Chains A and B, each alone.
Chain A
Amino acid sequence: MIVEIGHYALVLALALSVIQTVLPFWGARARDASLMGIGPVAAVGAFVCVAIAFGALTWAYVTSDFTVRNVVENSHSLKPLLFRITGLWGNHEGSMLLWVLVVALFGALLAVARSMAPGVLRADALAVQGLISVAFLTFIISVSNPFARLVAPPAEGQDLNPILQDIGLAIHPPLLYIGYVGFSLVFAFAAAALIGGRIDAIWARAVRPWCLIAWVFLTLGIAMGSYWAYYELGWGGFWFWDPVENASFMPWLSGTALLHSILVMEKRDALKVWTILLAILTFSLSLLGAFLVRSGVLTSVHAFATDPGRGLFILAILVFFIGGGFALFAWRAPLLKTGGLFAPISREGALVVNNLLLATACATVFIGTLYPLALEGLTGDKISVGPPFYDATFVPLAMALLLLIPFGQALAWKRGDLAGAVSRLLFVMGVSIVACLAIVFIQRGGPVLAVIGLWLGIFVFVGGVNEILSRSWKRGAPLSVVLRRAAGLPRSAWGAAVAHAGVGVCVIGLAAQAWSIETLGSARPGQPLTVGPYDVVLTDSFSRQVANYREDVARFHVLQGGVIIRTVDASKRFFPARNTSTTEAGISTIGFGQVYVALGDAGEHGLGVRLYWKPWVLLIWIGALIAAIGGALSFSDRRLRVGAPTRGRRKEPAGKEAVAIATVAAQ
């Protein structure tokens, strides 16, 4: 019964989404406030209905209702409760339902948030968001129904792919989806602006919080996925430029560019056409990411044909929104007026270069990901594009971008002074060079590229710290004053500084991997293997039965100078329900570094093991987390906060004069 209620709620949600799409749009054209007012009500209603459907399916999973096909195919009664719930989105149908839930959630949030967007813009954005709900709800109800029942229900389920039964992969999809779908709202705003033919700084202010939410979650989602790959796949790597990884990385790159170009638009009313284009592009890449991965096209062109109905439907949705978005852009963008001017050497100028580099980086990943598919489709030739390609193309672009970050932060808006910026950065450069040399000295050298990377990371990190210090520290001022000044800085300034510092931390962690050490060996009890500064010794091995799998555990001690400092378990798990096994790497964190133990086969010389010492590896994900916190800080800025009362506009007498002077200077 509950399952049928879920199914019915989904149909109801579709009806409400249609209302959400049609009435506000019509109302905006007819300038009818009461028609536009129906939009928010419908959006909230649609969200409640999708939430009911989602709850019903969750209930079926929790109670192991094996009359539902989706539950049978992806669950098992012995599976721990957490993985019974998260198994819901570990498959196609369930993950589509999660996707629609997030789409509806963002629609409802837009409906209830007291946005500063003008009424017509909001009504149109709500309508476009509704249209996205309509498309995916239709898809689910017609060809991807998660509530389908079985005529002859089995007594037990087929279990979820064991590799997905992991806390990391349990929270990775929701984070990623909130990121992807958050950009759908930005897309909706862009489409609404194009329909209305009006776009200005107010649009930028209304959109920026949504863009920030999406960016923060996408950052967390990608970091989570990368950490999962690192500890679950058992080869010690965390990024392989896999198409699946690239698919989530492309919207991140263009979303990051968007976040920066919106700043220029808000400040200078410039880069409007480009910002709109980026908004459309970012959501297009999100759609591409979410659905090409799900449909398997990226791994094999032929996977699409395995279920033509679904494949074609998804393709139609992609073509409709991406094509529609770009068509609207081509038609209406020429109407947008160009905005304010700025000197090439200025914060705006630096942000333009930032956008150029990020867009090129995004294009590079796009080419690297899709070129093999295009080539195979056109000529039948198969090629592989792996890490060496990205090392040669993406890495130089990223390095240029990193070098630019502190300079961009040090430049003034409108018209900057390069010599002044350089002199302000002398301290940062000095500190970062000394720190980098000290590390390289302690490590007794290292690859040149890694040393440069390490310096860039430290440079960006110190640059971020300096951004706050230079604005709050004054020679001779007591500490309490400095702290008060720092606390008084706008949250968006804190956000930018923290996010950039986080990027620096992440880059330090990435560069440090050049100093990681690997040891291959056969482990025998009592005989230590050396990996970097540590010795690892096998002490015990045993089997145990846990929930829905059996586990063979090898227990190691990590020794430093003959003293045991850590105990670490590596294991192999066997899942009888699917007759598959997984390996669990043993990871022991020491400072920011990790000792990583991957099990191999048992041979005549002992148990084959791959040991790694990965110095500072945790900084990669800590850096991403710091960057996300920076985004959240920026989101909490008073002038951006959704629903914050807007302050009255006061014209400062000096403002006009400054603008006049700067305009002349720019010419």
Chain B
Amino acid sequence: MSQRGVRLLVAAAIGLGVLMAGGGPGHALQPDEVLPDRKLEQRARDISLGLRCLVCQNQSIDDSDAQVARDLRRVVRQRLVAGDSDPEIRAYIVERYGDFVLLKPPFNARTFLLWLGPAIVLLCGAAFVLWGRRRSRAATPALNAAEQAQLQKLLDDREPPA
């Protein structure tokens, strides 16, 4: 193969490598995305951790490698730099992607059973335990006079504990 051919081949290989690298998955939050302002960046991180990556099984956009997550991280930071408050940014994103994007579902008519469910189970369980106690106590007859006397005798005869 001529020298020129070799050079072409190398160039093609490098180009292909670059293309493949570019087309591959992105990664979780990258250094170049970080805002210079530390306070703003911390807010960005906090918001990101509460937003779900839409294409992953169950990851926040902060942890996700997906391109969508990267885009969302960028949106969050753009809105922060533009001066939006945290709730405004969340509302902005929910408006576009729906409640699905929030890892902490809002409390409303559709989710009150979700949020109150654990408390309801705990209270019902506690009530059930108390009811069971009362029932089993009622089911056990008290000692009659003769048994009571026998018990007293046993107690009296008992040696004092060492």
Residues of A at under 8 Å CB distance from B? 234-235, 237, 240-244, 299, 338, 341, 344, 352, 356-357, 359-360, 363-364, 367-368, 371, 375, 379, 381-389, 392-394, 397, 520-522, 581, 598-603, 605, 608-610, 657, 660-661, 664, 667
Contacts and interface: CB of A to CB of B under 8 A. Distances in A.
Contact of B122 (A356, A379, A600, A609): A356
Contacts of B105: 383-385, 389
A46 to B, nearest CB: 37
Contacts of A364: 117-118, 121
B2 interface: no
Contact of B114 (A367, A664, A667): A367
15 contacts: A338-B136, A341-B136, A357-B122, A359-B125, A367-B121, A371-B111, A381-B99, A383-B111, A384-B105, A386-B60, A388-B50, A389-B103, A389-B105, A389-B114, A664-B143
Interface in B59-114: 59-60, 63, 98-105, 110-111, 113-114
B121 A389 contact: no
B29 A610 contact: yes
Contacts of A240: 58-59
Contacts of A601: 21, 26-27, 30
Contacts of B98: 382
Contact of A371 (B30, B104, B113): B113
A600 B30 contact: yes
B137 interface: yes
A384 B126 contact: no
A599 B137 CA distance: 64
Nearest to B121: A363
Interface of A, helix, strand, loop or mixed by DSSP: mixed
A661 B158 CA distance: 11
B6 interface: no
A533 B100 CA distance: 39
A235 B30 CA distance: 12
Nearest to A388: B104
Interface of B: 21, 24, 26-32, 34, 50, 52, 57-60, 63, 98-105, 110-111, 113-115, 117-118, 121-122, 125-126, 129, 133, 136-137, 139-140, 142-143, 151, 154-155, 158
Contacts of A387: 103
B58 to A, nearest CB: 4
A367 B140 CA distance: 37
Q: Which 9 A-B pairs have the closest CB atoms?
A: A386-B103, A388-B104, A235-B63, A382-B100, A364-B118, A600-B27, A242-B58, A367-B117, A363-B121
Contact of B140 (A359, A375, A667): A667
A609 B32 CA distance: 11
A497 B57 CA distance: 38
Given A360-B122, A520-B29, A299 B57 contact: yes
B30 A608 contact: yes
Contacts of A610: 28-29
Contacts of B113: 367, 371
Contacts of A581: 24
Nearest to A339: B136
B79 to A, nearest CB: 20
A385 B121 contact: no
Contact of A360 (B52, B99, B114, B125): B125
A241 to B, nearest CB: 8
Nearest to B105: A383
A299 B155 CA distance: 64
A382 B24 contact: no
Contacts of B21: 601-602
Q: Which of A363, A368, A661 has the most CB of B within 10 A?
A: A363
A610 B64 CA distance: 13
Contact of A386 (B58, B110, B122, B154): B58
A389 B125 CA distance: 21
Most chain-A CB neighbours within 10 Å: which of B31, B57, B105, B115? B31
Contacts of B140: 341, 667
Nearest to A365: B118
A667 B139 CA distance: 12
A583 to B, nearest CB: 8
B151 A603 contact: no
B58 A243 contact: yes
B19 to A, nearest CB: 14
B28 A235 contact: yes
